[in-house]
Amino acid sequence: MRVETHTHTPPSPAAAPAPDLPCADVLGIPLALTDYEGTMDWMDSTIASGHQACLSAAAVHLVMVAREDAPTRAAVLHSMTVPDGQPLVWALRALGHRQASRVYGPELMARFCERSAQTGTRMYLYGGRDQGALVQLVLNLRRRFPGTKIVGGYSPPFRPLDHEERHAVAAEINRSKADVVWVGIGQPKQEHWMEDMRELIDAPVLVGVGAAFDFHAGLVPQAPGWMQAIGLEWAFRLVQEPRRLWRRYARYNPRFVAGFARQLAAQRAGR
């Protein structure tokens, strides 16, 4: 995809390292106790410090897959993970973390694009259903957030990349001098990709945001705010994409409820 070029000032080597975010475990997965501003400040601090990190916006599905699949668990534990799903926020609050707040991947992406128009942060987009969808995403973001610096993009094939493709993609991202790579290829595929590519990519921050690309490209409607607030976004998405999502929700939602009930009971018994 043809993109504009912009000047880029590398971070100072003397800059302080990015601070850690406080976390609490839900079913063995550490979830950050933060909000949108705190997450974006963490991203900016990581960029300024010259450190490298991955950020994942986790739904219940990702937490449950990480419990069953060791490579997924390793990838998630190597990332800073924020609670994308409202049920995860409720779980954190039930455990006593009243400050827990949802950091919804699509909303985080939108807010950071708005901020980046002022800060000059350079962004690369990895994902999208096809190249046409990716171009539409770029157009929508630039129209909505004038001044946003999107310095490249790639819509990968659905199959895994081979060795040469992996290195070619990494080289393209590095040539773009991106500060942030947004990754929208679905969970847990995007977590595996970030884990696999982290050492090859110079960009300080890789962020997995799931369906955000489809939402912002206008390909899939988002659940109304009231449905998100009461934890029924999954039902809205199931109606939109039943063939793709029904097995996921039928398998993992009941297991999450049962697993967390045990965790909560154990915590209360420990008190």
Alpha-carbon dihedral sign for residues 189, 166, 44, 185: negative
Q: What is the pLDDT of residues 161-200, one digit of tens each?
A: 999 999 999 999 999 999 999 999 999 999 999 999 999 9
pLDDT at 4 exceeding the cut of 90: no
pLDDT tens for residues 45-100?
Answer: 999 998 999 999 999 999 999 999 999 999 999 999 999 989 999 999 999 999 99
Which amino acid makes up residue 213?
F
State in Å, rounded, how far the first CA of the chain is from the last one.
56
CA dist., res. 8 & res. 23, Å (int): 33
Summary mean pLDDT of the chain: 88
Q: Which residue has the tokens 């779980």?
A: 91
CA distances 204 to 17, 129, 200, 234, 254, Å, are 12, 25, 11, 32, 37
174/178 Cα distance (integer angstroms): 7
pLDDT at 3 over 60: no
**pLDDT in the model for residue 247:** 74
pLDDT digits (tens, 9 = 90+) for 194-252: 999 999 999 999 999 988 999 899 887 677 777 777 777 767 777 777 777 667 777 88
Is 197 within 8 Å of 206 (Cβ atoms)? Answer: yes
Which domains does the chain possess? 30-216 (3.40.50)
pLDDT at 89: 96
Given a cut of 80, is residue 133 above it in pLDDT? yes
Which one, of 237, 258, 203, lies nearest residue 50 by Cα? 203
Token digits for 184?
A: 């929208």
* pTM (2 d.p.): 0.86
* Contact between residue 210 and residue 248 where contact means Cβ atoms under 8 Å apart: no
